[in-house]
């Protein structure tokens, strides 16, 4: 009789294998738009001009953070989605809101007027790189360079919603 061992049992592998390419994260831009979009970091890099933003913001848990981000302007990306307002009417544009949600459930609200060239003209980015490292696997990040606090820096964006602020009700 031979002393050969039986073949080893297959081992269950949990999670992606080391050889598998990293998952590509995408996010949805939806709401009151003429052309909702589903985008990846690679789309953001390929379809819009990239801006460079060195930033410093205060993080409640880790103190001051110094980073550089690259990516397109949020305004340019949303313009392609075609918000459903009359672009010729400033008051129509000024009533629109944006909500940005991250992979951890954290979200924030911006107004269209913050990014509109006729109002705040803030250079808010959808980052494609952080400190020179591509964000393809991690997902895009909202970057608000003018903020002193990092609370509106949303990581791993999953959704951006665009729509009008509801009209206040009389009481």
Distance CA 151, CA 166 (A): 24
Residues sharing a CB contact under 8 Å with residue 99, sequence separation 6 or more, in sequence order? 107, 108, 109, 110, 159, 160, 161
Q: What is the pLDDT of residue 23?
A: 66
The strand pair at 26-31 and 157-164 is best described as parallel
Distance CA 143, CA 153 (A): 5
Where is 66: in which H helix or E strand?
A: strand 63-71
| Inter-residue contact 156 to 25 (CB < 8 Å) | yes
pLDDT at 2 over 60: no
Query: CA nearest 75: which of 43, 118, 31, 42?
Result: 118
71-124 pLDDT per residue, tens = 999 999 999 999 999 888 888 899 999 999 999 999 999 999 999 999 999 999
pLDDT at 12 over 80: no
140-171 pLDDT per residue, tens = 999 999 999 888 999 999 999 999 998 888 77
Average pLDDT, whole number, for the chain? 87
The strand pair at 129-130 and 141-143 is best described as unpaired
Q: What is the pLDDT of residue 87?
A: 84
The pLDDT-based confidence of 4 (bands split at 50, 70, 90) is very low
Distance CA 83, CA 16 (A): 38
Q: What number of H helices and E strands is found in the chain?
A: 4, 11
pTM to 2 decimal places:
0.83
**Average of per-residue pLDDT across 29-49:** 97
The pLDDT-based confidence of 41 (bands split at 50, 70, 90) is very high
Any idea which residue has 């009151």 for tokens?
A: 32
Please give the domain boundaries of the chain with CATH numbers for all domains.
26-163 (3.90.420.10)
């Amino acid at each position: 009789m031979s002393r050969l061992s039986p073949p080893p049992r297959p081992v269950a592998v949990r999670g992606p294998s080391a050889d598998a390419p990293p998952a590509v994260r995408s996010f949805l831009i939806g709401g009151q738009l003429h052309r909702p979009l589903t985008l990846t970091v690679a789309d953001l890099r390929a379809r819009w001009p990239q801006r460079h933003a060195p930033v410093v913001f205060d993080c409640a848990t880790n103190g001051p953070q110094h980073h550089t981000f690259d990516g397109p302007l949020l305004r340019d990306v949303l313009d392609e989605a075609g918000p459903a307002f009359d672009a010729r009417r400033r008051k129509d544009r000024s009533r629109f809101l944006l909500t940005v949600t991250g992979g951890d459930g954290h979200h924030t609200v911006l107004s269209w007027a913050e990014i509109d060239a006729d109002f705040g003209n803030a250079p808010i980015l959808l980052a494609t790189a952080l400190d020179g490292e591509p964000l393809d696997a991690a997902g895009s990040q909202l970057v608000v360079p003018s903020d002193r606090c990092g609370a509106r820096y949303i990581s791993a964006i999953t959704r951006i919603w665009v729509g009008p602020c509801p009209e206040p009700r009389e009481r």
